[in-house]
A and B are shown apart, each in its own frame.
Chain A
Amino acid sequence: MSEYRIQGNTGEWEVVIGLEVHAQITSESKLFSGSSTGFGAEPNSHVSLVDAAMPGMLPVPNRECLRQAVRTGMAINAQINRWSRFDRKNYFYADLPQGYQISQLYHPIVGEGEIEVTLNEKDPDSPTKKIGIERIHVEQDAGKLMHDQHPTMSFVDLNRSGVALMEIVSRPDISSPQEAGAYLKKLRSILRYVGSCDGNMEQGSMRADVNVSVRKPGGELGTRTETKNVNSIRFMMQAIEYEAQRQVDLIESGGAVVQETRLFDPNKQETRSMRSKEDAHDYRYFPDPDLLPVELDDAFLEECRASLPELPDAKRARYEAMGLTAYNAAVLTAEAETAFWFEDLLAEGVDAKQGSNWLMSELFGALNKMGKTLDESPINPKQAAELLGLVADGTISGSIAKQVFEIMLETAAQGSIMAASAIVEEKGLKQTNDTGAIEAEIAKIMAANEDKVTEYRSGKDKLFGFFVGQTMKAMQGKANPQIINDLLKKVLG
């Protein structure tokens, strides 16, 4: 898709990227215990006996977490494995109470699938590329160490211990930082559509391990490094850029890339070594004997499939078929929340074209100015639909609608939003269709601008707009613009 190349001293280099994305599964409780998954609670307040790995405690799989993983798999057209199994990944760390993470190495719940990405999702002409997904497996998150609470000790917060994650592993099909960014955005969009992960990278509900290697175009794969736990799209792109350049420089100066785990430092915008392959753990994976294999029956799979929402690509095609421009359709479907807002608007009876134009220009413009997201919009789809309805039935003009919208936002900011119809009523903004009144104003304007009338009649067509503007102004914006047009055409000849 993109011809991303690094120019080295010895020629061009190609970058090969694979991503392992850890996405926190949206669920009330943890993967193997009933504890809450709520974010931001007091340390160690969401910890059950199971999460703390007390003696004799046993994991019981949370079916909802498995369901979300299966739905996600279906959303990327992946193979769903009716038989999967949990394995233990053994290592010692203070944030890992069991001394092992329950994960799925040998038999993941979701097999191969793919995601189609475009470099610029809002540009319908932007080229597309399919990125292969190798697998999605379900596993436990670890707790968190806090090193700043005590001069000589580290504290452990187990609130996240046992929270369900999906690890979504891509094939090394990604060949530029931009593609990686597009992939992650698209993946996040799908997860949000499906409702299996909130995609909130700031809160850590989504993070990526980035595998990068470089090679001469078309050559043998190089040795890869893995940069762990990158928690924003921007950082990920920076990390790839830095890491690829570092590898090229290293190789060209006679060195060799070492297979190792690295960390990205967002302040310095560089990666640095965390541990090399020699220090790599032997995780001694083996099937978790506390758990039975996960077997999915037809009814379960059927329910998962039936509960899948329309996904972004399908939605975009449908919007285009409704008459929206490709651009509008792309923008409206890029994020689930936008599409859902738009569809709420349609459900209130708003015309698709009118609704999409208003949403993308007026509402987005206003939100942008306020620095708010759609989620935080002071106006809801029902209130917006009322406003747009007034335009559609000719009660107010488009320009009056802008005024009304502004008043709505102002009243909302003051604490209680005023309905569009109430504003129109109170401010007397109703559009007039009274041809007599308009004709009277036109007559006055023509009398006051005889020179311009002459110029117009001698061929200066552009002046038509001047007369429309003057008439509208004289009517205080409340005249039906179509009637002004018709009348002006008649009298100006």
Chain B
Amino acid sequence: MTDFSRLGVAAIRDGVAKGEFKAVEVAEALNARVSAAKALNAFIVETPEKAIEAAQAVDADRAAGKPLGKIAGVPIGMKDLFCTEGVQTTAASHILEGFVPTYESTVSANLWKAGAGMLGKLNLDQFAMGSSNETSYFGNVISPWRRNDGSTAALAPGGSSGGSSSAIAARLCPAATGTDTGGSIRQPAAFVGISGIKPTYGRCSRWGVVAFASSLDQAGPMARDVRDCAIMLEAMAGFDPKDSTSLDLPVPAWEAGLNSDLKGKRIGIPKEYRLDGIDEDIAKMWDNGIAWLKDAGAEIVDISLPHTKYALPAYYIIAPAEASSNLARYDGVRFGLRDLPDGAGLQDMYAATRAAGFGEEVRRRIMIGTYVLSAGFYDAYYTQAQKVRALIARDFENAWASCDLILAPTAPSAAFGLGEKNADPLSMYLNDVFAVPASLAGLPAMSVPGGLSKEGLPLGLQIIGKALDEQAVLNAGLAIEQRSGFTAEAGEWW
């Protein structure tokens, strides 16, 4: 009997289409795996009935000879930042606990239309704020990976899409949605040895996605290989008139366009990413990546992105500023948590509700954001950060004169242990150092497995491309995938 947990998106889709197995069989198998993996805490809500329902519809369509969607029969996980009609949507917060939307996000609706089914809502850092999935109101997500020293220390699956990364690495689902504001797809993908792509800003509609930082938030897929990411992205992307920042462009056939021959492509290696004291394993993996791309026919060029060092501070001004405003709607008036102490007035209700409903990291970012937007500080912080953002974008523009893609590490280290960094927000924020520039510039960027650290933990290589050139990013990812020989898996300890 087929072990459906070993099949990726393409394999399930093709098997269902060819009639090798029924979509319902896949859904049942993965429902069982999800249900048996509670120790990972990857899901906030499990929706086995949704997965079965979608699978039955696909099987019926196939039996009736109707055309099947792009990912027909593939059960996936849905990050709990996407509003799902009739299914609780929390953004991993207490303030939205019990909130059941009457509407479906555009991206999730696109996926269901393409024949996917929902295994459940995936855990994440609260309001997507975090890099280790330790800020969820519903508890930490545990990475399926463990260090090779026999230790059973729980490791971070990365964040904010930590439920997505953990579930895919543990083979609970072949693919999942993620969102990336400053690395929230790429860093968790790197931490668990899977692939994930953040497309160009505007490719995927933000409608129905709980907002963190509107000018940066971008949905994207996470899966176990590059092809599966391409398939998922094709199903998720597309113009949405309900999102003013959505790009009115056709969705390219990324899967069909996959081609790992990189002849004629120039790969830029940004010298500013080679930080002092860079992790040895990371440096080695990066060198391997360079060699693999050369082997695929690409030309390697040294480039400079001179404003890189300002990216992280600028990001940690812009993102909290937007968040402080985006999260104002969680006020206890219309939905979600309401904490109304005896005799409280409106202001007291706001204070009590928001104090009780938001976790520490969310409160911290709301306060940072409020501060940088206040009278007297606005120019020094927000305006300045916007200028930096423009300079970062210009750095990339200048770089494209001499290269077509950029190769860099995804994160500065392998996964760290839960509890190791959460006492120090700054060291946690530093995890985003390589991811944030592409977010600020709105560029497509992908993480693919690049090897293992000395402790036997996955490391990720990041490919950054020109705006709208997801195809080149995916192709370079594929070239690495074909050469890295990355087959390591987490042991099934749970």
Residues of A within 8 A of B (CB): 49, 52-61, 88, 90, 92-94, 97-100, 154, 156, 282, 284-286, 289-292
The reply to whether A55 and B328 form a contact with Cβ atoms under 8 Å apart is no
Q: How far is the CB of A31 from chain B (nearest CB, A)?
A: 12
Contact between B333 and A97, CB atoms less than 8 A apart: yes
Verify B83–A56 contact, CB threshold 8 A: yes
Cβ–Cβ < 8 Å partners of A93 in chain B: 346
Q: Are A284 and B370 in contact (CB under 8 A)?
A: yes
Q: Which residues of chain A come closer than 8 Å to B373, judged between CB atoms?
A: 90, 284-286
Say whether A289 contacts B207, CB under 8 Å. Answer: no
| Neighbour of B241 across the interface among A56, A60, A289, CB < 8 A | A60
Name which residue of chain A comes closest to B205, CB basis: A58
Binding site for A on B (CB under 8 A): 82-83, 89, 91, 96, 99, 101-103, 105, 206-211, 213-215, 241-245, 321-322, 324-325, 327-329, 331, 333-335, 346-347, 350, 370, 373-375, 378, 382
- Chain A: minimal CB distance from B362 (Å): 14
Known: A282-B375, A289-B322. Contact between A52 and B334, CB under 8 A? yes
The answer to whether B206 touches A92, judged by C-beta atoms less than 8 angstroms apart, is no
Closest to A98 in B: B329
Q: Do residues B207 and A55 form an inter-chain contact, with CB atoms below 8 A? A: no
Cβ of A99 and Cβ of B375 under 8 Å apart? Answer: no
Contact B245 A292 (CB under 8 A): yes
Closest to B322 in A: A289
Complexed CA–CA distance, A444 and B82 (Å): 100
A156 to B83, CA, bound (A): 25
The interface residues of chain B lying within 8 Å CB-to-CB of A52 are 334
The answer to whether B209 and A56 have CB atoms under 8 Å apart is yes
Q: A447 → chain B, closest Cβ, in Å?
A: 90
Closest to A95 in B: B333
Also in contact, A55 and B325, with CB within 8 A (given A94-B346, A284-B374): no
User: Can you name the residue of chain B whose Cβ is closest to the Cβ of A280?
Assistant: B375
Instruction: Report chain B residues within 8 Å CB of A60.
Output: 241-244
Chain A residues lying within 8 Å of B242, measured Cβ to Cβ, are: 58, 60
Verify B210–A55 contact, CB threshold 8 A. Answer: yes
Contact B214 A289 (CB under 8 A): yes
Question: Contact at B331–A54, with CB atoms within 8 Å?
Answer: no
The reply to whether A292 and B244 contact each other, CB–CB distance below 8 Å, is yes
CB pair B328 A99 closer than 8 Å: yes
How distant is A143 from chain B, measured CB to nearest CB, in Å? Answer: 10
CA distance A55 to B212 in the complex (A): 11
> Which residue on B lies nearest to A152, using beta carbons?
B343
Residue of A whose beta carbon sits closest to that of B328: A99
| Interface-central residue, A49, A93, A282, A284, by most chain B CB under 10 Å | A284
Partner of A59, one of B83, B213, B244: B244
In the bound complex, do residue B101 and residue A286 qualify as a contact, i.e. CB atoms below 8 Å apart?
no
Q: Which residues of A contact B105 (CB under 8 A)?
A: 56
The A contact surface, by secondary structure, is: loop
* Cα distance A425–B429 in the bound complex, in angstroms: 93
Q: In whole angstroms, what is the CA distance A292 to B206 when docked?
A: 14
What residues of A have a CB within 8 angstroms of the CB of B378 in the complex? 284-286
Kindly list chain B residues whose C-beta atoms are within 8 Å of the C-beta of A54: 83, 101, 103, 334-335
- 8 CB contacts below 8 A, A to B, read A55-B329, A56-B211, A92-B347, A97-B334, A98-B328, A99-B329, A284-B373, A289-B213
Contact of B214 among A53, A98, A99, A290 (CB under 8 A): A290
Residue pair B207, A90 in contact (C-beta under 8 Å): no
Residue among B82, B89, B213, B335 facing the most chain A CB atoms (10 A cut-off): B335
Query: Do B208 and A61 touch across chains, with their CB atoms under 8 A apart?
Result: no
Q: Do A58 and B333 contact each other (CB < 8 Å), given the known contacts A92-B328, A94-B346?
A: no
Contact of B207 among A58, A97, A284 (CB under 8 A): A58
Chain A residue numbers with a CB within 8 Å of B215 are: 289
Give the docked Cα–Cα distance between A459 and B102 (Å).
Answer: 95
B51 to chain A, nearest CB (A): 23
**A53→B334 contact, CB < 8 A:** yes
CA distance A244 to B99 in the complex (A): 52
Given known contacts A60-B244, A284-B374, A286-B378, is B89 in contact with A55 (CB within 8 Å)? yes
Chain B contacts for A88, CB-based, 8 A: 325
Q: A55-B91, A98-B328, A290-B214 are in contact. List 13 more A-B contacts (CB 8 A).
A: A49-B102, A53-B329, A55-B99, A56-B105, A58-B206, A58-B207, A58-B242, A61-B244, A90-B328, A94-B346, A284-B378, A286-B382, A290-B211
Bound-state Cα–Cα, A448 to B59, Å:
112
With A56-B206, A284-B374 already in contact, the answer to whether A156 and B333 are too (CB < 8 A) is: yes
Question: In the assembly, what is the distance between CA of A286 and CA of B96, in Å?
Answer: 26
Q: How far is the CA of A97 from the CA of B329 in the complex (A)?
A: 6
Are the C-beta atoms of A55 and B334 separated by less than 8 Å? no
For residue B338, give the distance in angstroms from its CB to the closest CB of chain A. 12
Question: Which single residue of chain B is at the shortest CB-CB distance from A99?
Answer: B328
Chain A positions within 8 Å of B324 at CB level: 90, 284
In whole angstroms, how far apart are the Cα atoms of A286 and B350 in the complex? Answer: 22
Distance in Å from the Cβ of B253 to the closest Cβ of chain A? 27
Chain B nearest CB, measured from A81 CB (Å)? 19
Q: Are B321 and A286 in contact (CB under 8 A)?
A: yes
Q: Are B328's CB and A58's CB within 8 A?
A: no
Q: Is the CB of B244 within 8 A of A290?
A: yes
Q: Closest approach, in angstroms, between the C-beta of A163 and any C-beta of chain B?
A: 18
In Å, the complex CA distance between A93 and B211 comes to 20
A56 touches B208 (CB 8 A): yes
Query: Separation in Å of the B394 CB from the closest CB of chain A?
Result: 19
CB neighbours of B99 from chain A (8 A): 55
Partner of B210, one of A56, A61, A289: A56
